[in-house]
Amino acid sequence: MKRSGRGPWPYLFLTPAMVLFTLFLAVPIGYTVYLATRRTKVSGLGLGKGARREVFVGFDNFAAALADTELWRGWLRVLGYGALVLVVMLGLALLFALLLDSARVRLARFSRIAIFLPYAVPGVAATLLWGFLYLPSLSPIRDVLDVDFLGATTVTYSMANVAVWGGVGFNMLVLYTTLRAIPRDLYEAARLDGASELQIALRVKIPILAPAIVLTTVFSIIATIQVFTEPTTLRPLTNTISSTWSPLMKVYRDAFVTGDLYSAAATSIVIAAISLVLSFGFLRVVRHHAFREG
Amino acid sequence: MRANRLGAALAVALTATLASCGSGEPAQSPEAATGRPASSAAQGPVKLTYWTWAPNMDKIVKVWNEAHPDIQVTVSKQAGGDDAAAKFLTAAKAGNPPDLVQAEYQHLPSFIAADAVADLKAETAAIKGEFSEGLWRLVTLGTDAVYGVPQDSGPMMLFYRKDLFDKYGIAVPKTWQEYGDAARAVRKKDPKVYLGTFSSKDPGAFTGLAQQAGAQWWSISGDSWKVAIADEPTRKVADYWGALVKEGAIDDMPYFTPEWNKALNDGKLLTWPSAVWAPGVLSSNAPKAKGKWAVAPLPQWNAGESYSGFWGGSSTAVSAKTPNKAAAARFATWLNTDPAAIDLLVKEAAIYPAATKAQSALGQAPDYFSNQPDFWQQAAAVSAGARGFTFGPNVGVTYNAFKDGFDKALQNGTPFADAVQGMQDATVADMRKSGFTIAS
């Protein structure tokens, strides 16, 4: 490619992306930051015209969000839930990908689709589906197994189960696609050296898969931090999930249930900052191993 | 290099998806954009949009539109409940609210506090007498202003399975004391069946029960609010239900869940202290039990009394930002006081009208209650003894504190009175934070 004399073309091609980016990402983020520094101030009864005005409060909302114990308890709950989901979901995804890729598997096509299919079910539908399976008087599982799926501790596992069920397929597909791209002669070479299928998987496939594993992990970390659909959909069915179970649920509650857009904006910025730190922190830790570069 | 370009392509794709997600979300339905300039009223009909979730409202509005070519109303069907209130407040803040909105009584004060609804004092002076004083207070908050026209009301009654009451040999409880005894008796007769359940998801129901006991959660005195959610009547109601749940005499499953539907259908729940609109819910959620339910007044705290409370009920409010306030007020007045309109509201939207005259004119019982021909007479009698209170400006906070507090109480077996105190504390803290003047 010629590097000089490109003229205005690159910018022209960039314009649509930049316009969309500005309109739908930069401006809303800017507005959120603006809202986060404000608050309504009411005087007297707060009824009628002019009784309520918006004032600048600086970092008050952020300070309140950071000092909110309920928010941190939410983080703890999500951390436990996330650890569970990440390990089980990615573990299963890797296992399935390796199994499907191994030479001896039967019904590969069918299994692949069967594992992937739950990913195509929208989160709300999947959660409702599982919700019905969890409810004591409706669940066919409860007929055989006497477990309260919606109890105070079990409910976390029940939600993690929904997330794993829906997420394994997608992650498996990412890993599986990467596996299929590995040149077959690598395995042949390994076999000539006397490696078993298991050894090939552990010593050849997984190291080559490392970047893809990192990618799926980052995606999954971000997704679990933002967990909202599962607890929100299950909440009407049980009294073990509070309106502030996860940090995002608290944002939703503040903004739309208790009508405090301002602290919701501040909290969502705090959440964004934490997810950035977590995902980039993870990348930093593993980059060296996964990509063999600085 | 390649990776970078890929990244850029991904970013474009992502933004495009985000953009398309974004455009589907906001309330900028084509109807919302039509409630335009007042100055152009001379040039064509005034166009109004109306957010409501009452069933078949479009049919009722059609009647108005045919009779009033100069004021054309478009119905935009909403989901209802707390979500609808949140959506209206958001739209009002964003500057594109509808001209008219269905406002539940408990949410009206938040609308007023957000300066989202107009004062209709002048426009409604003539119709004040059509409504009972209690209902009128709900749209004035006891102030001089009028913020909506009452549409329907939800006096609470006791719905019960007549066939199963006979089967288990239980008399219809006249007092809450008797209700508790009956609950225990049912458990003894059949351990799979409960007389009732306490729902930690329905603050509206609890509010109504507290009103029946004489609670006054909010009131206005002079220029300050008084908040007394943990008052004596409310604590009495909370302790009563808490004790019944704790000893296992009644269940703790929430209302309006698939499980609750099943229990109603299977005859595993024998009563539902609910509001006059319950037949609609029962007929869709428990179709199998049609004709088996009957209605009685709520059990009383003291024998011989005849009090009730309200669960739900709403008014028609006019948006503060509408350029066509007069036209909107005319429609709201017609809808809720014109005999023909009320007749349609009852038949098509299945509401219990707020207008006093209309309440006594109701004839045939709801289909689901065809076994109880005096259904509406019962309702009118109960309605006369129903008492409400002024709702505060942050009911959303209070109701959310109810759900979280009672969820926790049911889960941990802690006293219900603590949850009530939690509601009081959360409400007061939120009002203080906003700067409301609170009398202590």
Average pLDDT over residues B380-389: 90
CA A32 to chain CA centroid, Å, is: 21
B256/chain A closest Cα distance in angstroms: 8
Q: What is the ipTM of this complex?
A: 0.85
Which of B112, B403, B408 is the closest to A47 by Cβ? B112
Which of A41, A138, A240 is the closest to B259 by Cβ? A138
In a domain, A46, yes or no: no
Residues 6+ apart with CB under 8 A from B230: B417, B420, B421, B423, B424
Least confident of A40-49, B191-200, B257-266, B310-319: A40-49
Confidence of residue B16 (pLDDT cuts 50, 70, 90): very low
**Number of other CB atoms surrounding residue B244 within 10 Å:** 24
- Predicted confidence (pLDDT) per residue in B30-51, tens digit: 333 344 444 444 568 999 999 9
Cβ separation B400–A259 shorter than 8 A: no
| Segments forming the whole domain that contains residue A80 | 60-291
Cβ separation B396–A257 shorter than 8 A: yes
For residue B411, pLDDT beyond 80? yes
- Predicted confidence (pLDDT) per residue in A11-30, tens digit: 899 999 999 999 999 999 99
Closest C-alpha among B236, B175, B248, B174 to residue B211: B236
Which tops the pLDDT comparison, A257 or B264?
B264
Closest C-alpha among B295, B332, B301, B155 to residue B235: B301
Contacts of residue A17 in chain B, CB cutoff 8 Å?
A: 8, 11-12, 15
Which of B113, B252, B268 is the closest to A52 by Cβ? B113
Q: Per-residue b/e over B370-387, b at no fewer than 16 CB within 10 Å?
A: eebeebbebbbebbebbb
Looking at residue B66, its pLDDT comes to 95
- Predicted confidence (pLDDT) per residue in B105-141, tens digit: 999 999 998 889 999 999 999 999 999 888 898 999 8
- Predicted confidence (pLDDT) per residue in B333-369, tens digit: 999 999 999 999 988 888 899 998 888 778 788 889 9
Q: What is the pTM of this model?
A: 0.86
Largest CA distance in chain A: 85
B23/chain A closest Cα distance in angstroms: 10
Least confident of A83-87, A105-109, B124-128: A105-109
Q: Which CATH number goes with the domain that contains A282? A: 1.10.3720.10
Domain spanning B155-311+369-434 has what CATH number? 3.40.190.10
Cβ separation B263–A261 shorter than 8 A: no
Confidence of residue A292 (pLDDT cuts 50, 70, 90): low
In a domain, A187, yes or no: yes
Best interface-test mutation with B: which of A19, A250, A257, A293 has the largest number of B CBs within 10 A? A257
What homologous superfamily is domain B25-153+314-367 in, according to CATH?
Periplasmic binding protein-like II (3.40.190.10)
In a domain, A41, yes or no: no
Nearest CA in chain B to A46: B113
Looking at residue B23, its pLDDT comes to 37
Structurally, chain A folds into a number of domains equal to 1
Instruction: Enumerate the domain spans of chain B.
Output: 25-153+314-367, 155-311+369-434
**Number of other CB atoms surrounding residue B425 within 10 Å:** 15
- Predicted confidence (pLDDT) per residue in B209-229, tens digit: 999 999 999 998 888 999 999
Which of A135, A243, A256 is the closest to B86 by Cβ? A256
Nearest CA in chain A to B86: A256
Helix orientation angle between B395-412 and B203-213, rounded to the nearest 10 degrees: 100
In a domain, A282, yes or no: yes
Nearest CA in chain A to B427: A258
Cβ separation A45–B410 shorter than 8 A: no
- Predicted confidence (pLDDT) per residue in A144-181, tens digit: 888 889 888 899 999 999 999 999 999 999 999 999 99
Shared fold status for B25-153+314-367 and B155-311+369-434: yes
Do A222 and A50 contact (CB within 8 A), yes or no? no
Q: Residue with structure tokens 């009103």? A: B211
Which of B89, B145, B435 is the closest to A259 by Cβ? B89
Distance CA B361, CA B377 (A): 9
Average pLDDT over residues B157-178: 96
